[in-house]
Amino acid sequence: MTFDDLADAALKREMRVHGAAYPFEAWYYALGLVGDAGEIADKVKNIYRDAGGDLSRVPQKTRDVLLHELGDVLLYVNALAVKLGGSLDDVARAASQKPDPRRPSTY
């Protein structure tokens, strides 16, 4: 699946569920993004607590839950990108062009 495929599927879901393309203000999607990122952080914290951070000791079900939550985060990133007039490809491009703060010569 490509970013475009994901964006198309997300748009179809928005239309089916809400009857409009991204009908909410950007803050709604930002709060959803932060909420789901917090759920991921909490699950990773529990992995460190329960498995010493060793992912090989984590049950597949837990890994699947994390992947699902990461997908939710990606959907919120997509929605915010659309609200800003962009796409997931634009987000990925911007991330790849971001200077490395550990290397001042890249500024």
Q: Is the pTM of this model over 0.75?
A: yes
Residue 87 CA to residue 78 CA, distance in Å, equals 6
pLDDT digits (tens, 9 = 90+) for 20-64: 888 888 899 999 999 999 999 999 999 999 888 888 888 999 999
Q: Which tokens in the block code for residue 23?
A: 């009908």
What are the extents of the domains in the chain? 3-14+25-95
3-state helix, strand, coil in the chain (%, to 5): 75, 0, 25
CATH architecture of 3-14+25-95: Orthogonal Bundle (1.10)
Q: How many CA atoms lie within 13 A of 88 on its CB side?
A: 19
pLDDT digits (tens, 9 = 90+) for 20-32: 888 888 899 999 9
